[in-house]
Amino acid sequence: MKRFSLLFCLLLTLFVNAQLEGVDKNANERYFEDQFYLGITYNFVRNKPVDFTQRSLSYGLQGGFIKDVPLNRAGTKAIGIGVGLALNAYYSNLVVRENAPGFTYLFDNSIPDFRRSKLETHLVEFPLEFRWRTSTAQEYRFWRIYAGIKAAYVIGARSKLVTDTFKDGFFNTQIEGFQYGLTFNFGYNTFNIHAYYALSDLFKDEAVVNGGPIGFRPLRIGLIFYIL
């Protein structure tokens, strides 16, 4: 969590510096837009098991670099290919307990003095976007619609349980290593709406609760900020 916070602060510093310094664009030359991004989301859960409820604030942080490849001379259409890091946290009533054969999943009504249960994933992300915008070589404020897909590799997943009497945390290896989904970003100037809908389950098939698969497909909605 600390490493991701430091990364987020570093990217935020780059964002501020870029806004202060600006970029000297030549109207007669090809130009590029939105090559760094920062985002924050609220993480919903779809395709969830019966009796599953979210608790507290399930959040996501993301940041990275996208190579902007213009498709026309005006620069209003482009392809974006990128790489970044993300941290996603999910608070719910789903409890994970580590045991000798693997993991056991149950709901909080089976845990005395339950306070909170958290699943945290760390990912390397690879966004691919088709970009449409109303920008020009001299215009810094413009409308944008970016739609595409995002693949991600989970480099770490951790489950945590907190009760009134103890805390338990461990790496959860029943999280799918490869994730992918659809993305849609829309907005004007600095503030843009970001949405991600997972097409893959977060948990592997062997992760079951009450005799059925957990599934668990994230839907993330929030804000994304682009800079040069």
What would the pLDDT profile of 45-96 be if each residue is shown by its tens digit? 999 888 899 988 999 999 999 998 988 888 889 999 999 999 999 999 999 9
Contact 208, 214 (CB under 8 A): yes
Q: What is the pTM of this model?
A: 0.81
Report the chain's mean pLDDT, rounded to a whole number.
85
* pLDDT value for 219: 96
Residue 36 lies in a domain: yes
The pLDDT confidence band at residue 109, using thresholds 50, 70 and 90, is confident
**pLDDT at residue 127 is higher than 60:** yes
Residue 141 lies in a domain: yes
* pLDDT value for 146: 96
Residue 77 lies in a domain: yes
Mind listing the pLDDT tens digit for each residue in 182-194?
Answer: 999 999 988 899 9
Percent above pLDDT 90 for the chain: 55
Residue 26 lies in a domain: no
Q: How far apart are the first and last CA of the chain?
A: 26
Residue 27 lies in a domain: no
The pLDDT confidence band at residue 1, using thresholds 50, 70 and 90, is low
Burial class (CB in 10 A: 0-12, 13-18, 19+), 130: middle
- Within 13 Å, how many C-alpha atoms sit on residue 16's CB side? 6
**pLDDT at residue 28 is higher than 60:** no
Give kind and range of the element (H or E) at residue 88: strand 77-92
The pLDDT confidence band at residue 22, using thresholds 50, 70 and 90, is very low
Q: Which domain holds residue 79?
A: 2-21+32-227
Query: Which of 9-23, 80-94, 97-111, 124-138 ranks highest by mean pLDDT?
Result: 80-94
* pLDDT, mean of residues 21-41: 66
Mind listing the pLDDT tens digit for each residue in 154-177?
Answer: 999 999 999 888 888 999 999 999
Number of domains making up the chain: 1
Phi then psi for residue 113, to 5 deg, are 60, 35
Residue 60 lies in a domain: yes
